[in-house]
Chain A
Amino acid sequence: MENMVNIFLFGKKYQVPDNLTIMCAMEYAGYQLVRGCGCRNGFCGACATIYRIKGDQELKACLACQTKVEDNMYIATLPFFPLVKQVYDINNVSPTQQIMMQLYPEIYACIGCNACTKACTQGLNVMQYIAYAQRGDFKACAEESFDCVMCGVCSARCPAGISHPQVAMLARRINGKYLAPKCGHLEDRVKEIKDGTFEELIEALMQKPVSEMKELYNNRDIEK
């Protein structure tokens, strides 16, 4: 027998089984979701949700697809939040602090309240990654923010109006493109292919009868 709990969707009361996620509880209650539902698996950030347990001071945030319902949970989804995304040309940015000052100057208005970190649905140290961005330490910002699903909950809580996930996105792209060490074997291989190094080998495979391909496949050596 299922245990039922009372939840309040946008203030309206529903009884749902206690083992459901918020997302499934909404569907159980009769919602056909369109907005606020993407991967259903904690990767896309479409299902940002805020809630308060009755009698509790704290307003909490979560991903609806990743969070179980609780008794007396007051739930409001946050399917869209107006983040600021600045437009830039990745081939024309310099990997220095300058670029943050230019594109996202508001990060320097952070008052250190830590509301972003407390709200983060991924448990990231958001205030810290913003601090790294301020300093132009893009590598550290990229690492600290790596698990960000860009749900926007932190930004909804920020008194300084910062769009944290967009700041982190810029830092990660700069890190990936400019700061990470270049990959020699990749460059070599791209060149070899351009030079036609493998053409003969591949053409031979294009012609081989399936029986010979089976031979090849079943007897190929496998790297340990």
Chain B
Amino acid sequence: MYSEKFQESIKKVEAARDKNIALEPRRMTADEKEQLLAAYHPDYKQDEFRVLTVGPNKGEKVPKELSEMLEAHSRIRDMKIDLSSPAYDVDVLVIGGGGAGASAAIEAHEAGANVMIVTKLRIGDANTMMAEGGIQAADKPNDSPAIHFVDAFGGGHFAAKRELLRKLVCDAPDAIEWLSELGVEFDKDKDGNMITTHGGGTSRKRMHAAKDYSGAEIMRTLRDEVLNREIPVVDFTSAIELILDENGNAAGAVLLNMETGEIMAARAKTVVIATGGAGRMHYQGFPTSNHYGATADGLVLGYRAGAKLLYADTLQYHPTGAAYPEQIFGALVTEKVRSLGAKLINKNGEAFMHPLETRDVSAASIIRECSTRENGVETGNGFGVWLDTPMIEKIGGAGTIEKRIPAMMRMFEKYGIDIRVEPILVYPTLHYQNGGLDIDEDGMTTNVKNLYVAGEAVGGIHGRNRLMGNSLLDIIVFGRSAGKNAAKKSREVTLGALTLSHVDRFEKELEDANVDTCKVSPKLLPDYRRK
């Protein structure tokens, strides 16, 4: 139940509900979208970005908070680290225990490599676990990888690296089959046909789901498979620096035990960075939908070792973060809510936009509604607009919400809001790191050999924006291929002597560029203690 102050606006939403269900709001033209983004999207706020003064992307702009981490001191500065007898010695070292890391480890193991995973929290405590909406693949007769390509390329503002995108869409059906064979329970009808829906920016219904626990269902299955294969998982252990060999190729990582503070070294013939996203960097002060460990560590590790970033200045703000109640401020309200028919409604009961525009356009449109247009609902924590969930029951019949989005229902139920009969309040939340380390088709970074990257830590697969459902897809497609390729490559590698000289070199660069900082990186965890 909402308190009195919301009731007036809720009444307007209710009164207009039938009319709004029938209405198909006009989609914006390409020009309208461009103007909207330029005026309201956080990526376009110039003073929130800073130009890098050191490293491979010197001269390019990134979010202020990221630049501080990229231009910070190493955590091992002034430390003597013994690289002569590493605590771990493997063929393939996977950094990160999310969906990309687990997929890579499984495939590397399948290829016969001696592989291990190190991960900051537990395996599976990751953004992958939280994905609700689903995973795209063009596997229906009316769809094709080519149509999928066009959707994703356009959605990403025509900036994706096409060879990566080609791989994404062409390997998608095989990824779904691989997951099914591992036992992932996709929503199917009684004949086995996948139940698929639209996501923002898709032109075919190709979103596959496992209720609204799609990521959890995938992640727990992958985790179970990693454990069945008895792949070593060292948890609560972060990579804090890459180790190179004397030829400048990736050769392992310096590890930090998050509980005891112990520093160790891991030597490996090939390394896979699968450290995920950056929501906990709270760019521009936004709340986030991400897990606790999403702090862009992989970007920092790679950057210091000489790997290039691509599109690190583009973030995805999910249009529908929970704006109320405060306890779940910033938590994700899955796009599937809109796929199932709920529309975005302002405080006057008006459906102010088409509910399935791409995410950046939707987010900008909500920010406009809540700022200059003054049509937002005051929440006590800022403003929000309504997402009229009861529409779903009217369109799909009673019981649709419980059947298709049970996690959503439960999340609000805990705070006394029954989304079957009451709408919910939403506002954009920091959701996804579009940019990341630049890779080639094999998943290797473009300028550090034997260093592979997969998952949200990669830049370029999607371009400057990503469609819902293409990320779960990319972690499987590129995670698997990074694992296979890293295993294959490890057979050819003869490691030279290990070194951390690149860390000293980077420190020198900072000094030469007169960067005056007391910060250390990678960040590892946010600090939410009361100051």
Contacts and interface: CB of A to CB of B under 8 A. Distances in A.
Interface of A: 19-21, 24, 27-35, 37-44, 46, 66-68, 85, 87-90, 122, 142, 146-147, 149-150, 169, 172-177, 180-187, 189-190, 193, 198, 201-202, 205-206, 210, 213-214, 216-218, 220-223
B291 A44 contact: yes
B125 A181 contact: no
Given A147-B406, A177-B183, A223-B204, A206 B173 contact: no
Contact of A198 (B145, B292, B414): B145
Contact of A27 (B129, B170, B174, B530): B530
Contacts of B46: none
B220 A217 contact: no
Interface residues of B, number: 84
A27 B149 contact: no
12 contacts: A35-B236, A39-B292, A42-B410, A46-B121, A46-B122, A85-B227, A90-B228, A147-B213, A147-B407, A185-B194, A186-B139, A186-B180
Contacts of A34: 236, 258-259, 525
A37 B292 contact: yes
A205 B150 contact: yes
Given A87-B227, A146-B213, A175-B183, A186 B194 contact: yes
A97 to B, nearest CB: 18
B184 A181 contact: no
Contacts of B149: 202, 205
B181 A210 contact: no
A187 B289 CA distance: 34
B185 A32 contact: no
Contacts of B414: 66-67
Given A174-B183, A176-B221, A186-B176, A39 B125 contact: yes
Contacts, number: 217
Interface in B502-531: 525, 527-530
Pairs A-B, 6 closest by C-beta atoms: A173-B183, A38-B125, A217-B154, A181-B192, A176-B183, A176-B185
Interface in B235-290: 236, 258-259, 289
Contacts of A27: 528-530
Nearest to B138: A189
B259 A206 contact: no
Contact of B150 (A24, A31, A177, A217): A217
B85 interface: no
B228 A88 contact: yes
A42 B411 contact: yes
Contact of A218 (B30, B177, B191, B525): B30
Nearest to B216: A43
A202 B150 contact: no
B32 interface: no
A140 to B, nearest CB: 13
Given A27-B530, A146-B213, 18 more contacts: A33-B525, A38-B122, A38-B129, A40-B291, A41-B328, A43-B216, A46-B122, A169-B220, A172-B185, A173-B221, A175-B183, A176-B182, A181-B191, A181-B192, A183-B188, A184-B192, A190-B177, A222-B203
A17 to B, nearest CB: 10
B291 A198 contact: no
Contact of B188 (A19, A21, A180): A180
A42 B213 CA distance: 11
A27 B191 CA distance: 50
A177 B527 CA distance: 42
Interface in B396-412: 406-407, 410-411
A89 B289 CA distance: 35
A169 B137 CA distance: 25
A198 B185 contact: no
Nearest to B211: A146
B220 A198 contact: no
Nearest to A169: B224
Contacts of A20: 327
Contacts of A218: 30, 154
B326 interface: yes
B527 A44 contact: no
Given A38-B129, A90-B228, A176-B185, A182 B192 contact: yes
B400 to A, nearest CB: 17
Contacts of A213: 150, 153-154, 158
B259 A172 contact: no
A183 B180 contact: yes
Contacts of A205: 146, 149-150, 153, 162, 166
Contact of A185 (B141, B170, B190): B141
A163 B513 CA distance: 56
Nearest to B178: A190
A222 B27 CA distance: 12
A122 B227 CA distance: 24
Contacts of A174: 183
Contacts of B181: 177
